[in-house]
Amino acid sequence: MKKMLIVDHTRCTGCRLCEAVCSANKNGAVNPNRAMIAIIKWEQSCIAIPMLCQQCESAPCMAVCPVKALNRDESIGRVVVNYDLCIGCRFCVAVCPFGAMDIDSVTGKIIKCDLCDGEPMCAKFCETGALQYVDAGTANREKRRLAADVLSDLIRKSGVKASVS
């Protein structure tokens, strides 16, 4: 069964450990600028949102690549770059709606999240569970239950027959 990296921004504390482990895992050095995940912040409003490649089913990057260097790898549920074919035209960078395609500041190559070949480091080290690598078919389960939790609490407190206004 395919997995997906699901983001719950309400749990993100903005610590950016994901950026550190991503870049260190790939390059042996901590450099948020070379990480494939970025925590976008609005400091004055206490907002932190993890942004990364959504591994789109119908990826715009795949659609525009003139040499078909971008392809889906269904075993892991990701879009991968074939560096043997990539000509570095950077059209993918221009069209990605999430800003997930990047140009590496050191090598100049196109880089994108590859889910660490099946064991994404960011999710592994995310203490709050804001990033989780879960079964795609049941990815919404936890959120449903969390959303229902408020109502279930009210029901327990006021008795089964009580109506909630």
User: For binding to other proteins (CB under 8 A), which residues are involved?
Assistant: 10, 13-17, 20-21, 23-25, 27-34, 41, 43-46, 48, 105-106, 121, 124-125, 127-128
Q: Smallest distance from the beta carbon of 28 to other proteins, in angstroms?
A: 5
Closest CB 47 distance from other proteins, rounded Å = 9
Closest of 128, 97, 106, 118 to residue 35, by C-alpha: 106
Of the two residues 29 and 148, which places its CB atom closer to other proteins in the complex? 29
Q: Which residues of 127-138 are buried (b: 16+ CB within 10 A; e: fewer)?
A: eeebbbbeeeee
Q: How far apart are CA 47 and CA 54, in angstroms?
A: 20
- How many Å apart are CA 66 and CA 50, to the nearest integer? 30
Six-digit token pair at 66? 């003139």
Give min distance, CB of 55 to other proteins, in A. 23
As a dihedral over the C-alpha atoms of residue 29, residue 33, residue 37, residue 41, rounded to 10 degrees, the angle is 130
CB of 24 to other proteins, least distance (A): 5
157 vs 161, beta carbon nearer other proteins:
157
19/79 with CB nearer other proteins: 19
Closer by beta carbon to other proteins, 17 or else 139? 17
* Nearer of residues 43 and 74 to other proteins, judged by Cβ: 43
Question: What are 13's two structure tokens?
Answer: 């504390």
Residue with tokens 């550190």: 20
Distance of alpha carbon 51 from the chain centroid: 6
What is the nearest approach in angstroms of other proteins to the Cβ of residue 143?
16
Length of the chain: 165
